[in-house]
């Protein structure tokens, strides 16, 4: 998407961390921003941080509430104009192993970190399609492609956001709508304050005491400045870039993961590449296009 100045963006989880960094970067480029966040204190601090630097509107929003999401979209577009850029960024950073994560934990994390993304898409994609243009940014995590122990629900949701983003782009190609998925590395944020975000509906958790302790200090020491992350997102939108890895130091680990996956096919026999299997194509032209365009941006 080119010519971003004068457009309107809607950012969930926009009151702090990467969401606020995106807002600041967008405003620098003349983009009006609707900042949605469930936490009133995050919205208040965002107001102070952004001041009168550009056209902003602040909305308290629980992204799991579909009716509220629709009302927030109507409010933002009535005040700022049609939303061209949607950033599905809201998330909760709950930690817990497979052994300690219970139903209430799964339900909460999936409803926000995956359900919130789905709700954003369902709310704004029809509007973008009607106008014939738009760009949707979904915040995943480097953990969604490089999982580790101790955060099973969070990592599952982030992996799902990656798959959702890839599948969605396959569906909307040719409709003037771009998709970017952020494989976010360590970034300064309030993600560790998970205890303050857990609703009463999901309070019966064996992780609650740990979350209170966890929220006392940031989990990430010296993470990336969110404004830098926001500027990277801005460039990805301009370049119509599907994958955004914010931290290049994970390059070799990602390559190792894909190499490990490829071992499951066994040795390469040197046979010609199959183009179809049982009526299904074995190649997706989307990936060929990404590779071909990688040196042009």
**Is residue 236 within 8 Å of 215, Cβ to Cβ?**
no
Beta bridge partners of 244: 182
Catalytic residue ranges: 154
**Is residue 15 within 8 Å of 60, Cβ to Cβ?**
no
Alpha carbon distance 154, 287 (integer Å): 27
3-state secondary structure (DSSP) of residue 190: coil
Report phi then psi at 138, rounded to 5. -115, 130
DSSP annotation of 224: B
Alpha carbon distance 113, 153 (integer Å): 9
Q: Who's near 135: CB < 8 A, 6+ residues apart? A: 1, 84, 85, 86, 177, 178, 179, 180, 237, 240
Residues 49-71 as b or e (16 or more Cβ within 10 Å = b): ebeeebbbbbbebbbbeeebbee
The candidate with the shortest Cα–Cα distance to 162, out of 180, 148, 135, is 180
In this structure, what token pair is assigned to residue 131?
Answer: 């106008």
């Amino acid at each position: 998407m080119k010519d971003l100045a004068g457009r309107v963006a809607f950012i969930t989880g926009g009151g702090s961390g990467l969401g606020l960094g995106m807002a600041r970067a967008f405003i620098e480029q003349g983009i009006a921003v609707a900042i949605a966040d469930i936490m009133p204190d995050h919205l208040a601090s965002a107001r102070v941080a952004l001041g009168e630097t550009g056209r902003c509107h602040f909305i308290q929003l629980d992204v799991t509430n579909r009716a509220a999401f629709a009302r927030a979209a109507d409010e933002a577009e009535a005040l700022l104009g049609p939303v061209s850029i949607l950033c599905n960024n809201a998330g909760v950073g709950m930690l817990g192993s497979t052994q300690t994560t219970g139903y209430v934990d799964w339900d909460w994390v999936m409803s926000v970190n995956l359900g919130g993304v789905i709700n954003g898409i369902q709310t704004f994609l029809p509007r973008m399609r009607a106008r014939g243009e738009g760009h949707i940014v979904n915040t995943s995590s480097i953990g969604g492609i490089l999982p580790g122990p101790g955060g099973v629900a969070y990592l599952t949701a982030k992996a799902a956001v990656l798959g959702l983003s890839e599948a969605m782009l396959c569906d909307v190609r040719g409709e003037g709508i771009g998709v970017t998925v952020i494989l976010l590395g360590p970034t300064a944020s309030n993600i560790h304050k998970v205890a303050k975000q857990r609703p009463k509906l999901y309070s019966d958790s064996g992780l609650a005491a740990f979350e209170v302790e966890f929220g006392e200090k940031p989990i990430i020491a010296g993470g990336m400045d969110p404004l830098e992350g926001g500027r990277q997102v801005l460039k990805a939108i301009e370049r119509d870039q599907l994958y955004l890895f914010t931290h290049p130091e994970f390059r070799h680990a990602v390559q190792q993961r894909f190499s490990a996956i490829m071992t499951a096919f066994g040795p390469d026999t040197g046979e010609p590449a199959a183009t179809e299997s049982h009526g299904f194509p074995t190649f997706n032209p989307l990936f060929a296009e990404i590779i071909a365009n990688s040196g042009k941006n």
